[in-house]
Amino acid sequence: MFVYGEYVFNISLILSNDLLVNYMILGWALLWFALFFVYYIIQVVSKRENRFVFNFVVFMIGLIAVPIFILVKFV
């Protein structure tokens, strides 16, 4: 169970509810992982690790907040 503000999610219920939702969540996770991987490679190649920590924090906030927003809005 995740408690987010006044919303309570039962993730297992959402995941067992519909196969399409399963694939949407899996696709979303894979997309973000791929984007982060490419972003990490770019940061390492250009050697800007000082800004990397800040960008990583912003990225993780977005990574957590956006799927929760989608679940609240559409599921």
37-71 residue pLDDT tens = 777 777 777 776 666 677 777 777 777 777 777 77
Residue 9 token pair = 């999610």
> Quick one: CA dihedral 16, 18, 23, 28, positive or negative?
negative
The answer to whether residues 39 and 56 touch, using CB atoms and an 8 Å cutoff, is no
- Average pLDDT over all residues of the chain: 68
User: Can you give the pLDDT at residue 17?
Assistant: 60
* Residue 32 pLDDT > 70: yes
Domains of the chain: total: 1
The answer to whether residues 49 and 40 touch, using CB atoms and an 8 Å cutoff, is no
Residue 61 CA to its chain's centroid (Å): 8
Report how far residue 58's alpha carbon sits from residue 43's, in angstroms, rounded to the nearest whole number: 15
- The range of the structural domain enclosing residue 54 comes to 2-74
User: Can you give the pLDDT at residue 1?
Assistant: 46
Model pTM score: 0.38
User: Can you give the pLDDT at residue 39?
Assistant: 77
